[in-house]
Amino acid sequence: MCPHPDPSARPATPDLFTECRVVHPHGELDLTTSTDFGLTLADARAGIGRPFLIVDLSDVTFMDGSALTPLCAAWADCRARHGWVRLVRGPVSAGLVLRATGLTPRFPWYASAQDAWVGSPSRRGPKGGEPGGPA
């Protein structure tokens, strides 16, 4: 669906997906990459109109709490402009961070970008098959 960016570039790149933007980070989302991740999310929301943003975490290998600041900023901006942010299922660590901070209702999991676009949440948690993750 979306081309994979050069791994030496920013940790995520926005792609146009119908009327929505897809950000597809790769590798680790941690303190060392959260600034670039935040810039990528801001770039994806740039412009006027209702921002619909899908963050596809399927190629993320690890996520810690530092990724929450840019994700929550994106959520607040999109929501204020009558849009949304949706997450494609990522690593177990992402599910644990979201669950520990009480953000699972704000960021339910979707199995794919297509499911996120149509608003069909996954019944499973983070990739790795753990049930009971964000629903």
| Interatomic CA distance for residues 66 and 61, integer angstroms | 15
Closest CA to 3 of 22, 29, 27: 22
Q: What is the pLDDT of residues 1-41, one digit of tens each?
A: 344 444 444 555 555 444 689 999 999 999 999 999 999 99
Angle between helices 34-45 and 68-80 in degrees, nearest 10: 10
The DSSP 8-state label assigned to residue 87 in this structure reads: E
Q: How many other C-beta atoms can be found within 10 angstroms of the C-beta atom of residue 68?
A: 19
Cβ atoms of residues 18 and 40 within 8 Å: no
Q: Which domains does the chain have, with CATH numbers?
A: 14-118 (3.30.750.24)
Q: Give the predicted TM-score (pTM) of the model.
A: 0.79
Predicted local distance difference test score (pLDDT) of residue 49 = 83
